[in-house]
Structure formats: C-alpha cells, structure tokens
A and B are shown apart, each in its own frame.
Chain A
Amino acid sequence: MHEYAFFLGCIAPNRYPGCEASAIKTSEKVGIKLLPLCGASCCPAPGAFGSIDLNIWYAMAARNVVLAEQMDRDIALICNGCYKSIYEVNHILKHNDELRDGVNEVLKEIDMEYKGSIDVWHLAELYYDPKICGVDKIRESVSRPLTGTKIAVHYGCHLMKPRKERHFGDTDHPMWIEELVAALGAEPVQYRNKMQCCGAGGGVRGFDLEHSLDITNEKMINLQEVGADALTEVCPFCQLQYDRGQVEIEEKFGIKYGLPVLHFNELLGLAQGMSPDELALDLHAVDVTPFLEKIL
C-alpha cells in the first residue's frame, strides 16, 4: 500500500463530496491509501489569493505542506487549483532560500517550520504512474466497464502548465488521461481546442461571470460538436464551472447543453461498481442520468 496525506481543498469536500468519497474508495482498490490531513485549509486559491499577495499565498500553502511533513507522508490531491498552490509553493520553497526564510519567519509565529521534506502529487498522475499504480492496474480494477460511451477529457490548466515548472511534458496534445479513460472501457473522444481553459480561474468567475461563462460556452460548443456522452476532468473547480456553469449559461445566454460532467474519480468509481448514491451524483447541477442509463 502506498500511503499519502490526502489534501482535500474546498470544492471537493464542500460542494462535490462524491469526489472525495470516490477518491478514497477507488484508490484503495489499486493499492493507494489516502490518510486524512487534519486541519488543512483552502490551498489557498491561487487566483483569488495569490493575486492579492503572493507572499501570503506562499505562507498559507506552506502551512498545509507542513501538516503533511509532520505526518511524514507525501501529499496526494484531486484538484488542479490545489495542485498549483501546494505543488508549486512546495517546489518554489525547496529551491528559493530567500522565500523559504520569509515563509518560515511567519510560520514561526504558529510554531511551524517548513522543511521541504515531502513531495506533492495529483491522484490522477499517481493512477497513471506504473511505479505506483499504472493504467493496467486501473483496467484490472474495473468491474463495470463503461462500454459504448464517448467521453471527452478536460485537462484543466494548473496541473500541467506552466510546462517548465511541471514534469508532464507536452501540454498541447496530451493523451495520458485518455489512456486512463480508455482503461475504463469508454471511448475517449477528441475535440477542438481541448487544452483551452474552463474560464473559471484567476478569480475571473467571481470578477466577471459572463466573461468566464463565455469561455466555458466556447468549450461546450466544441464538445457538442463531437457528441460526447460526458465530460471528465481532474479538477472540482473546472467541474463546478462546467456543471453549474451550464445552468448559468442557460440562464444568461439561453443555450442548453445537458452534458454530464464527472470528475475522473467519480467515473472510476462507477466503473469499479460504486452506485450513483455512493457518489452523491444528485448534487450535480446537470442531470447525470442520461449517462448512467448507458452504463447501468
């Protein structure tokens, strides 16, 4: 069993608890144990918080990392926004003495010290990594293949970009999440401008909702074009933007898409035989039933 401190973030535990539940259950079936990271906070939101003062963003993210250092476990998480904060701040502080000293000066006030002793991973990359799990193990864990469904993938921005500060390689046409989706028995579909942002990040969703939804709408048009049965992603904030965003797009622009949006963990949960009730899919704003009818 590979053990990790499970960093939850905000939107997964507080809006889509199915993402959290499925992460814990699906990972156990492939040899990954997620331990609760008690007292963790918001990562904090890189766009909303980092825009105001990057120094506070470093210190707040470092506090979360220190909690995992105290457990002596690497962090695993399920949200791209959290990845941006936790992975990147950990990476920066490991290599920048000046910033690390500044952060530690603040953390001293609450009896903490950032040491730089752990690493940070997205659960999806652990699923893909053959040293930890790998596509084959994911395929073997499937008891209810998603045969006959066409699934589009939204990678999101902050997991793989900026490329130079990550380790995923190609950010123009990545295919690794499609490999994971195919392992569930579904057919991954390609669509125009796959790597475009969902529109929610950088505080734009809160600053100018219509602008942000217009970006989402462009993606929805491209997704509709290829007839996907569902969209999957690895970021609850992207999920919120696509899921609740479709309701807002209907209100504001009068266009209805009805495309079910599922976190990859939820999709994996369904493929491993979890019931829709165990995933709280009724909390999704867009009805997931048309997709479920194809697989149940």
Chain B
Amino acid sequence: MAREKDYGNPSLEAKLKDRYYYSDDTNRDFTKEVEKIGRTIAHMCYQCGTCTGSCPSAPRSSYRIRLFMRRAVLGLEEEALTDPDLWLCTTCYSCTDRCPRDIAPTDVIMAMRNLAARRDIVPRNFLKTVQAIYTTGHGVPNNDVNRAARVKLGMDAEPPTTCGFPEYIEGIKAIIDHYGLKDRADKILSEGE
C-alpha cells in the first residue's frame, strides 16, 4: 500500500522507510480476497483479543489468531501465508462464537490456508488426505481388521459407501480433477521426498 503523501522532511521520510514505522509490503487485495473466500468481514476487527483468549491452541504454541487477524486487516500477505502457525488452528470456532465484531476468525484462517495452498504452501498430511479420498473416496479408508469386525457384527465387510460401490469413485475423481488438485498434490508430495 504505497503512501501517496509526504511530509517534505527528508529525515522524517527516511525514518518512515524503517519497517518499524512503516511497511510497504502490504497488499490491499489480500484483505479483500480473505474476506471473499472466508465470507466474513475481517476488516472490522478492532484487535480486542477475545479470539486468542478463546483459542485452545494459543496456550501451547506461538499461534495467535489475533495476530493473523491483524495481518488480514493490514494486508500482510507474505507474513500470514508463510507462517507455519497458520496450520495450528483446530477450527473449533470458539473465537467465532465469541467475536464481539461478528467476524469469523476461523474462516479467516481457512481463507488464508486456501491462499497459501494456491502457492503450494501446504503441510503434507493435508495432501495425503486428498490422495486417499481420490483413490478410495474416503479420507480414512477401510482395512482388514475393520472388515473382520464388520463381518462379526453381521454387516457387510465393506460399508455401502464408495467402499461397497467403487463405481462411484469415478465421480469423485472427476470433481478433484476438475480442479487439478490430485496432480498438484502428487507433484508437491514428490518434491518433498
């Protein structure tokens, strides 16, 4: 966000170039994009901290939802999307229920994760879930111990989901392929090996 005015005072201008006073790596569009994807009015945040106070992840890590809200408001895209703490939100929605500004900080986090993922910044376990769903239709697929237990219960070894009706997996593949997500997941995961 470039400043359009100046003070006509060289020493003050120099001071304002200092990141402590002024940061020029903000992106106004980032705020708008977060608000669109997250379907929430992030810019209304007044930094009260109720969100961090409600957060189960905050007491045991450096993750601060209030900090991410500030980054959303200021358009600090790089800072927000490269911080690994982004992935410590359990999406419990306690902050959302308590926000006095009616914002959904949880959905701000989800939007930032979506934007990070577009740049291939995404933890491996998330992509492995995509691969599992692509192959079996399930994030947690069936296994032999479970099949035996199901039969003992008088049920079919395969539940009547995509497990029992694998012909439905084609539709799931078509949806994921529409977005090219499987190929991206494969590519990112193979790079990390």
Closest to A236 in B: B140
Q: Is the interface of B mostly helix, strand, loop or mixed?
A: helix
Inter-subunit contact A21/B153 (CB<8 Å):
yes
Is the C-beta of A2 less than 8 angstroms from some C-beta in chain B?
no
- Cβ-neighbour of A112 out of B94, B130, B171 (below 8 A): B171
Contacts of B159 in A (CB 8 A): 8, 13-14, 17, 20
- Cβ-neighbour of B125 out of A17, A110, A206, A218 (below 8 A): A206
Q: Smallest CB–CB gap between B100 and chain A, Å?
A: 13
Given known pairs A39-B168, A52-B113, the reply for A10 and B140 (CB within 8 Å) is yes
Is the C-beta of A255 less than 8 angstroms from some C-beta in chain B?
no
Is the C-beta of B15 less than 8 angstroms from some C-beta in chain A?
no
Is the C-beta of A252 less than 8 angstroms from some C-beta in chain B?
no
Contact size range, B: 35 or more
**What total count of A-B pairs have CB within 8 Å?**
214
Q: Count residues of A near B (Cβ-Cβ below 8 Å).
A: 67
Proximity bits, A47-69, B CB within 8 Å = 1, else 0: 11111111110011001000000
Contacts of A109 in B (CB 8 A): 174-175, 178
A-contacting residues, B81-119, CB 8 Å: 87-94, 96-97, 102, 104, 106, 110-111, 113-114, 117
Closest to A40 in B: B161
Q: Smallest CB–CB gap between B189 and chain A, Å?
A: 13
Q: Smallest CB–CB gap between B137 and chain A, Å?
A: 4
Contacts of A218 in B (CB 8 A): 56
Q: Smallest CB–CB gap between A257 and chain B, Å?
A: 18
Q: Smallest CB–CB gap between A243 and chain B, Å?
A: 14
Q: Smallest CB–CB gap between A35 and chain B, Å?
A: 10
Q: Smallest CB–CB gap between B39 and chain A, Å?
A: 8
Inter-subunit contact A207/B87 (CB<8 Å):
yes
Inter-subunit contact B90/A49 (CB<8 Å):
no
Contacts of A260 in B (CB 8 A): none
Residues of A within 8 A of B (CB): 8, 10-11, 13-15, 17-18, 20-21, 36-42, 44-56, 59-60, 63, 106-107, 109-110, 112, 157-158, 161-164, 171, 195-197, 199-204, 206-208, 211-212, 214-215, 218, 277-278, 280, 282-283
